A and B are shown apart, each in its own frame.
Chain A
């Protein structure tokens, strides 16, 4: 079975500052890893995914994530936060069984 740990349910960041959201996974097989974003009262939208190609993955809206097998991590970053980045972010892992397990999410607040 696969699982994901996201620490810090609420993350505050100043506008223009670095956004860093941490994700650590557990998987008995090579994982597929995802980051999704959710705006209030909506479904989730895919930000980026890792599927065993390049370890540094670039996504939409200026986000990127780096897969580090030795650290079982897939942290999400954005160099400069924008007000529109305020949302909830979920890390997900799949072990190739067509099931996606999500972490508990990070609520990002951007301070002007």
Chain B
């Protein structure tokens, strides 16, 4: 199975900050890497698919990059509604493993 490791596991930031979350795969996954946002008590929601493609309706302050084993999710100018948990997922092959999640909270 492909292991997905995110860093950091938690992050404190302020409204207006720029934050970057990284995701590393235990073996190359090409660009089959997605990012999801999850708020407490809610289902996950896709933000970025295929490493760098912004899902329809997602604000442009979210962006993704990377290929192979190393990926990043960047949020520029944090908004209050962005404080949530972010998870990466590889869909290169099954099982479609997720990272452990990065909890972003308000400093």
Q: Do A and B bind each other?
A: no
Could you list which residues of chain A lie within 8 angstroms of chain B, going by C-beta atoms? none
* Residues of chain B whose beta carbon lies under 8 Å from any beta carbon of chain A: none
